[in-house]
Amino acid sequence: MIQEAIQYPALIKYLKGFSNYSWVHYCDGRKVLLAKSLVFFEKQLSGFLRVHKTALVNPHYIADFQAPPGHKMAGSVSLRDGETLPVSRRRWSLIIDPLLVTMLPLSFPANGTPGSANPSFSEPACIEKKQPSLASRRMWVVMADELKGSLVQQLMGEKWSQWGLKLFDTGNGLQKVLSGTGEADMPAVIVLDGGQPGSMLTLQTLKNSSRFRFIPTILLSSAGNYDQAQQGYASGANSVIVYPTDLARFIQVLEKLFRYWLSVASAPQGGNGRVAPV
């Protein structure tokens, strides 16, 4: 249990400590009591914010915050699921800067116009992490589930921060942005969530395009959906990956998938280091 918490921090919303024990609150609703102090987890989970002597929070699950309203009064952070945790006034000045960095990524709706700092997954939107990287080091992901999308962001930030990431909630959103993208800014890899309606049509559209068909495209398929896996390969997917419903195993599968495509495989490239058009 302790090893799982340390190995897969993206699954943790926050930890509450008392004495030499900690309650670990997972994003799937689980609540596990572990015989380790909050100080122990604070040392192990880099990037988590110690908002209170009894609370350690994963900033990726914070949706909003409230500054201390007055002297000797506590502030608060609100999580995506509506939970609220106190922020002690003494810790406020220590967490506000890293909190703002986490909560204010650049975001663009499908038409490419700058929008809200916290995009809604109800509309086609993408989140791009600006990194000093090679032109071809970009991965675009369609992920309809907001929680899984957040896990993708955290995994990329922890393991492959040198890669730029764009996250879309629909295949149509990806296609709209892709159609207006110049050759130098093309993604090196595209990942499609098979659970998103229209993902197969997006795959077919990409693979039937003389401009986009050489971009490696991976289809994520839910367990037991054998017809979709066969259809994915028939439509030109470079890989079809079956992902489990268990979030810990989902992270494991993603990590292996990304390690291969981002660290081992070579994407088709032209003479200028771009994805080669036909």
Check whether domain 105-264 has CATH 3.40.50.2300, yes or no: yes
- Across all residues in the chain, what is the average pLDDT? 79
| pLDDT for res 103 | 60
Mean pLDDT computed over 13-36: 91
* Helical (H) or strand (E) element with 97: helix 89-103
Name the pLDDT band for 184 (thresholds 50, 70, 90): confident
| pLDDT for res 267 | 63
**178 vs 124, which has greater pLDDT?**
178
CATH entry, 2-102, from 3.40.190.150, 3.90.1170.30, 3.20.20.70, 2.40.50.1020: 2.40.50.1020
Ranges 76-90, 176-190, 215-229, 264-278: which has the least confidence: 264-278
Ranges 36-45, 63-72, 164-173: which has the least confidence: 63-72
**180 vs 244, which has greater pLDDT?**
180
Name the pLDDT band for 274 (thresholds 50, 70, 90): very low
Strands 31-34, 84-87: pairing is unpaired
Range list for CATH 2.40.50.1020 in the chain: 2-102
| pLDDT for res 122 | 28
Q: What's the pLDDT tens digit per position in 131-146?
A: 333 445 889 999 988 8
Ranges 34-43, 213-222, 261-270: which has the least confidence: 261-270
Q: Answer whether 110's CB lies under 8 Å from 96's CB.
A: no
| pLDDT for res 269 | 56
Is residue 176 predicted with pLDDT exceeding 80? yes
Tokens (6 digits) for 226: 């054998």
**166 vs 154, which has greater pLDDT?**
166
Mean pLDDT computed over 264-276: 52
**22 vs 136, which has greater pLDDT?**
22
Nearest to 147 by CA among 193, 89, 205: 193
Phi and psi at residue 223, to the nearest 5°: -60, 135
**43 vs 109, which has greater pLDDT?**
43
Nearest to 237 by CA among 215, 254, 259: 215
Range list for CATH 3.40.50.2300 in the chain: 105-264
* Helical (H) or strand (E) element with 155: helix 146-159
| pLDDT for res 66 | 84
- The string of DSSP codes covering 40-81 is HHHHHSTT-EEEETTEEE-GGGEEEEE--SSTT--EEEEETT
| pLDDT for res 119 | 34
Starting at the edge strand found earlier in the chain, the sheet holding 49-52 runs 31-34, 21-26, 12-18, 55-57, 49-52
Q: What's the pLDDT tens digit per position in 199-256?
A: 899 999 999 999 999 999 999 987 677 788 889 999 999 999 888 778 878 888 888 8
- The Cα–Cα gap between 58 and 60 comes to 6
Tokens (6 digits) for 15: 């930890």
Percent of the chain topping pLDDT 90 = 34
Q: What's the pLDDT tens digit per position in 78-137?
A: 998 889 999 988 888 888 777 776 665 433 333 333 333 333 332 333 334 333 334 458
Query: Does pTM top 0.75 for this prediction?
Result: no
